[in-house]
Amino acid sequence: MPATAIELRSPGIDYAREYRALLSFLYQAPFGLMQIAPDGAIEMITPAAARLLLALAARPELDNLYTALADVAPQLPRLVREYRGPSGALCEALRFALPAGSLGPEASVLTLTLTKVGPQMLMAVLNDVTNEVRREQRDLDQRLTDLSRTDALTGLPNRAVAIERLQRLIDARREDESTPPFALILVNIDRFHQVNDSLGHAAGDEILRLLAARLNTQLRRHVRDDGASAPAVVATRVGNDEFAIVVDDLRRSDDIHGIAMRLLDVVAQPFGVGEQQLHVRVSAGIVLAAQAARTGVEMLNDANIAVNESRRAGRGRYAVFEPSMRERAASRGLIEEGLRGALERHELYVVYQPVVELGEEGDALRCTGVEALVRWLHPQRGIVPPIEFIGIAEDSGLIGDLGRHVLAIACEQFMRWRARLGDRAPGTLAVNVSRAQLFLPDLVDMVRDTMCSTEMPPGCLQLEITESMAAEDDEVRVALAELKALGVSLALDDFGTGYSSLSSLHRLPVDLVKIDRSFVSQVDSSNYHRVLVEATVQVARSLDLGTVAEGIETESQARLVRQLGCEKGQGYLYSTPLTAPALEAWLATGACAALP
């Protein structure tokens, strides 16, 4: 057995000090060194090498490297035999896995490097790389968990991270109330599906990426620049077009409004996608720590409720969550559920409100047409007015089916009246088209098909749209032009509410303006309202548009709107909306009544 020492053949000079230093250095080296003869004989070995080789070797005798490693590295003699060069590596970092208990209490990994250093001399290095291997494994695991926690498209942390972070903040504050408050801002892109539908998914993805980058950099930078005590902001992607921003360390709760405004600002800048500059808007919902639910998931749900509330108030805004919103959302959920069934169970029906000509005083009342208004006969609640379910139908995507249903029923009824009543039948049928319907890709086909199957003459059909939506979108303008091309007429409903603008009237392809009830009802008591009604009638006339005053309830209102030049009227003074048989009865009697 060789000595566990290194012998240096001294060239005659006394290097005793250096020799001892080198010796102790090698003895303490964290790796093992061996000098080997070409036949495998171990000529010198350091203590570290002996310890490692013993753990590896089949037998406890350490006189020959090849025999010691015959089980785990039988190729060594061949490698040496076949190596032709004067010096160089024969094998590099050959790995050996050792079971727990052989070197330490846990499994270990050793490497062996064998190098030819002279014609008759090889050097073997044995290394315990257990720690490095473990570190590598940990890094790899980390990378893998990073992947499972990162959204692949945007590179932002994903939903799991958002929920985890929220949960940590919720728990921390529950434990210690003096922990600074936090907040969650949930951001949802308005009508994102339209971007995908009209520009393709690649453009949609690009917008998501750009938006994510802005949230991650601009918003965070802004918050950081605000001062030393500025809140920490983490942007995550939690759904297709949904981003959750967790704001931590919010020392002044007012700050959240500044952050939310900044957020809407950051998003409002156009996005360059390919050649185009695209504008998107988002709606946001905020949940403050004081209102936080018990879990991160619930908190995200609450934020979503707030997003929906904010969207209903108009897009491109934010709303702060309040617990009462939960009840509203639940009851909306119930209505939505009921509405799905209602369509199948035929619980929806249509009533008709006459539109009359505002002729000269003393003239007979002439009904020129009817407006179809939907009702829901709920099995428990009785008659539910449209105000309670149209918005929900829009939000839940049921509006397409609902609109088709109403149009079909109304057209069928209109044609029955024409067949039965002849001249006395209403001349036009007005049907409301809600905002969301104008964004449906099949609206024009639906109207065409329904007119076709019911044989409804296009000239008798009037579609009522609200002005705010008509003025807004290019897409809507295209839909309106296509509808007009079918031969139907368009009425601008609720004029005076929302984006009231006489000056934009000429840009819309409408034939008729319906002046909102809120103006008509005050026409005889408020100078302002009277002037507005008059101006509307004048502008409409100059553009060759008809006018209808909505919601006339008193004779004095009727007289005034007629004097101001309004051609037609609608309201309880003449008739409430009626079922089809009741309308027939009304036509037989009421229509002949003299005007006030």
Q: Residue 302's binding partner, choosing from ligand C2E, Ca ion, none, with beta-carbon cut-off 5 to 8 A by kind?
A: none
Segment 455 to 474, residues that bind ligand C2E, using CB under 6 A: 464
Task: Please list, in sequence order, all residues whose beta carbon lies within 8 angstroms of the beta carbon of residue 45, skipping any fewer than 6 positions away.
Answer: 2, 4, 32, 33, 34, 35, 53, 62
Length of the chain: 596
For residue 52, which amino acid is it?
L
**CB 348 to ligand C2E: min, Å:** 9
Segment 553 to 582, residues that bind ligand C2E, using CB under 6 A: 553, 570-572, 577
Using CB under 5 A as the criterion, what x/- string covers residues 438-467 for binding Ca ion?
A: --------------------------x---
What's the rounded Cα separation, in Å, for the pair 163 and 295?
Answer: 8
* For ligand C2E, the closer CB: 216 or 521: 521
Which tokens go with 233?
Answer: 């902001």
* For Ca ion, the closer CB: 394 or 464: 464
> Quick check: 47 binds ligand C2E (CB under 6 A)?
no
How many whole angstroms from its chain centre is CA 131?
44
> Quick check: 413 binds ligand C2E (CB under 6 A)?
no
What's the rounded Cα separation, in Å, for the pair 528 and 535?
Answer: 11
What's the rounded Cα separation, in Å, for the pair 122 and 584?
Answer: 112
Residue with structure tokens 């896995």?
A: 97
**CB 571 to ligand C2E: min, Å:** 3
Q: Phi and psi of 84, rounded to 5°?
A: -100, -25
Using CB under 5 A as the criterion, what x/- string covers residues 547-576 for binding Ca ion?
A: ---x--------------------------
Q: Which of 169, 282, 390, 548 binds ligand C2E (CB under 6 A)?
A: 390
> Quick check: 400 binds ligand C2E (CB under 6 A)?
no
Q: Which of 183, 195, 259, 406 binds ligand C2E (CB under 6 A)?
A: 406
> Quick check: 387 binds ligand C2E (CB under 6 A)?
yes
Q: Which of 166, 195, 374, 583 binds ligand C2E (CB under 6 A)?
A: 374
Residue with structure tokens 């939310």?
A: 260
Tell me the pairing of strands 242-248 and 348-357: unpaired
Which residues in 279-359 belong to E strands, given as ranges? 282-288, 318-320, 348-357
Q: Return the closest-CA partner of residue 282 out of 306, 256, 301.
A: 306
* For ligand C2E, the closer CB: 267 or 436: 436
* For ligand C2E, the closer CB: 50 or 342: 342
Segment 473 to 502, residues that bind Ca ion, using CB under 5 A: 493-494
For residue 83, which amino acid is it?
Y
* For ligand C2E, the closer CB: 127 or 353: 353
What's the rounded Cα separation, in Å, for the pair 418 and 454?
Answer: 12
| C-beta of residue 543 within 8 angstroms of C-beta of residue 510 | no
* For ligand C2E, the closer CB: 208 or 406: 406
What's the rounded Cα separation, in Å, for the pair 366 and 389?
Answer: 32
> Quick check: 391 binds ligand C2E (CB under 6 A)?
no
The interface region with ligand C2E, picked from 1-9, 279-287, 430-438, 467-475 by CB under 6 A, is 430-438
The interface region with ligand C2E, picked from 56-64, 380-388, 414-422, 578-586 by CB under 6 A, is 380-388
* For ligand C2E, the closer CB: 319 or 583: 583
Q: Which of 154, 304, 432, 521 binds Ca ion (CB under 5 A)?
A: 432
Residue with structure tokens 């000509």?
A: 357
What's the rounded Cα separation, in Å, for the pair 406 and 554?
Answer: 30
What are the strands of the beta sheet with 108-118, ordered from one edge? Answer: 42-45, 31-36, 121-128, 108-118, 88-98
Return residues touching ligand C2E (CB under 6 A): 353, 373-374, 385-387, 390, 406, 432-434, 464, 493-494, 517, 550-553, 570-572, 577
